[in-house]
């Protein structure tokens, strides 16, 4: 593969998904979840997937479309409130859900992506989420140990990429994408616009291309707001 031209098509991407993989996905309530890569994941037919991301999307948006197909076996997320089907699957035991406080989850992903071994925090102490987490005492004060998160594959959405994979984001569609982009063995970025190297202002690049393995052009966002889908 040309390390300076990572632009790929979906025929190259689809075989990268595999049964039993751990998949990190970017996005917050579906905003910034790469829509064409989720469709590609669905078309790939893979199953028994372990998901890591902020939430379960909506049933019609983001990772929610995949979750509803019951092909994910576990999800580490901060909430699933926007996807009632994820709640039903969890309740029925078909989807194992581990909740992590939102910012702690992002730091766990970051920790995995930047070669660290986790961190200590007081967030969550004395709550259900502290169960099964090691307690560490330092200078008389107790902290929870939070482990790093990594995965086989990461999928992110960005506004623009150059052919090296340097990424520029789009307002609140940035959210956790820069963290997710760093944490997987292989990362695919779906973008609205692809430019030549040298065309992005180096100061505007949020994720350096060293973290990115493939760049694919989006086939469109097809966004639906909550109120457009209520009652459907």
Partner 1 sequence: MGDARQIIANRAAQELETGMTVNLGIGIPSLIPNYLDPSTRVFFHSENGLLGFGPAPKVNPDWALSNAAGYPVSIVKGGSYFDSTTSFGMIRSGRIDLAILGSLQVSCNGDLANWIVPGKRVPGVGGAMELAYGAKRLIALMQHCEKNGQPKIVTTSTLPLTATRCVRRIITEMAVFDIDENGLTLAELMPGFTVADIRNHTEADFALSDKLNE
Q: Which of 16, 30, 37, 218 binds partner 1 (CB under 8 A)?
A: 30
Q: Which residues pair with 31 in a beta bridge?
A: 28
Kindly state whether residue 195 participates in binding partner 1, applying the rule CB under 8 A. Answer: no
Q: Work out how close the CB of 60 gets to partner 1 at its nearest, in angstroms, rounded to a whole number.
A: 12
Which of these ranges, 6-14, 51-59, 63-71, 141-149, lies near partner 1 under the rule CB under 8 A?
51-59
Q: Work out how close the CB of 14 gets to partner 1 at its nearest, in angstroms, rounded to a whole number.
A: 25
Q: Which residues pair with 72 in a beta bridge?
A: 49
**Binding residues for partner 1, total number by CB under 8 A:** 51
Terminal-to-terminal C-alpha distance of the chain = 45
Q: Work out how close the CB of 159 gets to partner 1 at its nearest, in angstroms, rounded to a whole number.
A: 8
Q: Phi and psi for 119 in degrees, rounded to 5? A: -160, 170
How far is it, in rounded angstroms, from Cα 76 to Cα 95?
10
Kindly state whether residue 37 participates in binding partner 1, applying the rule CB under 8 A. Answer: no
Task: Output the six-digit token pair for 79.
Answer: 């909430």
Kindly state whether residue 221 participates in binding partner 1, applying the rule CB under 8 A. Answer: yes
How far is it, in rounded angstroms, from Cα 55 to Cα 108?
15
How far is it, in rounded angstroms, from Cα 160 to Cα 176?
16
Q: Could you tell me if 80 and 88 are in contact, meaning their C-beta atoms sit under 8 angstroms apart?
A: no
Q: Which of 22, 36, 44, 82 binds partner 1 (CB under 8 A)?
A: 82
Kindly state whether residue 80 participates in binding partner 1, applying the rule CB under 8 A. Answer: yes
Q: Which of 93, 126, 140, 220 binds partner 1 (CB under 8 A)?
A: 126
Residue closest to 110 by CA, chosen among 145, 67, 148:
148
Helix/strand/coil for 36: helix
47 versus 224: smaller Cβ distance to partner 1: 224
CA-based max dimension of the chain? 56
Q: Which of 7, 120, 129, 195 binds partner 1 (CB under 8 A)?
A: 129
What are the distances in angstroms from CA 158 to CA 26, 104, 180, 216? 10, 23, 12, 10
Which of positions 140-179 make contact with partner 1 (CB under 8 A)?
A: 159, 169-179
Which of positions 101-120 make contact with partner 1 (CB under 8 A)?
A: 101-104, 106-107, 110
Applying CB under 8 A, which residues contact partner 1? 28-32, 54-55, 58, 77-82, 87, 90-91, 97, 99, 101-104, 106-107, 110, 122-129, 159, 169-179, 206, 221, 223, 225-226
């Amino acid at each position: 593969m040309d390390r300076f031209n990572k632009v790929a098509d979906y025929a190259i991407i689809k075989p990268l998904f595999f049964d039993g993989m751990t998949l990190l996905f970017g996005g917050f309530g579906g905003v910034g979840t790469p829509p064409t890569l989720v469709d590609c994941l669905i078309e790939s037919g893979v199953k028994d997937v372990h998901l890591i991301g902020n939430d379960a999307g909506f049933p019609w948006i983001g990772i929610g479309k995949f979750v509803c197909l019951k092909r994910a076996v576990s999800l580490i997320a901060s909430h699933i409130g926007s996807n009632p089907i994820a709640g039903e699957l969890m309740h029925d035991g078909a989807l194992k859900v581990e909740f992590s406080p939102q910012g702690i989850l992002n730091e766990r992903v970051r920790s995995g992506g930047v070669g660290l071994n986790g961190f200590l925090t007081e967030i969550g102490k004395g709550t259900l989420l502290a169960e099964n987490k090691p307690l560490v005492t330092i200078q008389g004060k107790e902290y929870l140990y939070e482990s790093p998160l990594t995965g086989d594959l990461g999928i992110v959405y960005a506004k623009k990429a150059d052919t090296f994979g340097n990424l520029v984001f789009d307002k609140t569609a940035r959210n956790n994408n820069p963290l997710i982009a760093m944490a997987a063995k292989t990362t695919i970025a779906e973008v609205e616009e692809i430019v030549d190297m040298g065309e992005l202002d180096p100061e505007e690049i949020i994720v350096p291309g060293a973290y990115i393995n493939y760049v694919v052009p989006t086939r469109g966002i097809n966004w639906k707001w909550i109120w457009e889908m209520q009652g459907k």
